[in-house]
Amino acid sequence: MIHAVSMGLGLFGLWLLLSGFLDNTLLLGLGVFSCVICVYIAARMEVVDHEAVPLQLKFGVIGYLLWLSAEIGKANWAVTKVILSPRMRLQQRMITVPAGQQTDVGRVTFANSITLTPGTITVETQHNSFVVHALTDDAADFDALNDMGARVSAVESRT
Amino acid sequence: MIDLALDIASWISFALGGFFLIVGAIGMIRLPDFWSRLHGAGVIDTAGAELILLGMIFQAGLTQVTIKLILIGLFVFLTSPTGTHAVANAAFVAGLRPLGEVKKRDEDKKKGATS
């Protein structure tokens, strides 16, 4: 129930932000109506849960996104140097990174974070680890990937 | 004065974003195989796209357009790694392996560069 209400409020907030109609009662009513329809359809599809509305995420996830942006910037610069160097020194390899996240949302966040960072791509998800393709030795930094995993585990769930 | 500062900030973002877009494009041509080219595309997806969007945000100022640009950036942030993973996973399942793949750390010193 809390997920459905949050989804409806979130959708209506999005509707307000994107439409910009704040003083037209008819349009506001139609907006509420379409949000209710959306939540009803989502409920019938049985997707109104912790995945569609990840309320369990801690607020620390915002700090994590900022940290991730900085990491992406650094990794971009590293890959840029590789691409522009006259002799590209590639040491491609597949490494296995343990993924100890408790929730599906946490695992997806970790896998997407690895892929977002240039130089590493999540290739395959296994029971409790990921197969990661790394472009160079520097990118295949096991400790840095583990540190990222620990940061995801820290914000994935309140319980 | 504020306008000038915003213009400078947005032009720096545009120039940096354009630089990363060009680097990513060069990477997609120069890099030797499928796996390494994914990383060139990654540079375009992250630094290129997001910095261009940041430059647009500086131009738009505190308006509704900025909110829409932030949402676009967020959706690119969420969807582009998903697409990259789908492509990489398909190649992995199909049996494609990286060019000059290094199996163990010990072999690094013997093999060195594989360009």
Q: Which residues of B touch A112 (CB under 8 A)?
A: 78, 81-82, 85
pLDDT band at B99 (very low <50, low <70, confident <90, very high): confident
Q: What is the pLDDT of residue B87?
A: 92
φ/ψ region of B104 (left if φ > 0, alpha if ψ in -120 to 50, else beta) reads beta
A9-18, A132-141, B1-10, B22-31: lowest mean pLDDT where?
A: A132-141
pLDDT of B104 reads: 58
B interface test, pick of A62, A91, A138 with most B CB neighbours within 10 Å: A91
Residues within 8 A of A (CB atoms), B 1-60 only: 20, 23-24, 26-27, 30-32, 35-36, 38-40, 42-43, 45-47
Give residue B108's pLDDT: 47
Quick check: is B113 in a domain? Answer: no
Residue B26 lies in a domain: yes
For residues B100-110, give the mean pLDDT.
58
- Look at residue B33 and tell me if it is in a domain: yes
Query: Residue A159 pLDDT > 90, yes or no?
Result: no
Give tens-digit pLDDT for A101-149: 888 888 989 999 999 998 899 998 888 889 999 888 887 888 888 888 8
**Residue B71 to residue B77: CA distance in whole angstroms:** 10
A122, A132 Cβ separation under 8 angstroms: yes
Return the closest-CA partner of residue B29 out of B50, B51, B44, B13: B44
What DSSP assignment string belongs to chain B?
-HHHHHHHHHHHHHHHHHHHHHHHHHHHHHS-SHHHHHHHHHHIIIIIHHHHHHHHHHHH-SSHHHHHHHHHHHHHHHHHHHHHHHHHHHHHHTT---TT---STTHHHHH----
Residue B115 lies in a domain: no
Residue B115 predicted with pLDDT over 50: no
| Neighbouring-strand partners of residue A120 | A134
- Does the structure's ipTM exceed the value 0.95? no
| B41 bridge partner residues | none
Q: Mean of the per-residue pLDDT values for chain A?
A: 88
Full-model pTM: 0.84
Mind listing the pLDDT tens digit for each residue in B67-95? Answer: 999 999 999 988 999 999 999 999 999 98
**Closest CB from B80, B88, B112 relative to A123:** B88
Give dist(CA A4, CA B98) in Å, integer: 45
Q: By three-state DSSP, how is residue A52 classified?
A: coil
- For residue B114, being part of any structural domain is answered with no
Residue ranges of domains in chain A: 2-44, 60-155
Domain that holds residue B34: 2-98
The reply to whether residue A79 touches residue B27, judged by beta carbons under 8 angstroms, is yes
Whether B113 and A87 have beta carbons less than 8 Å apart is answered as: yes
- Residue B44 located in a structural domain: yes
Mean pLDDT across B29-42: 89
Q: Give domain status of residue B105, yes or no.
A: no
CB contact under 8 A, A88 and B31: yes
Q: Does B106 map to a domain?
A: no
Number of Cβ within a 10 Å radius of residue A70: 9
Domain count along chain B: 1
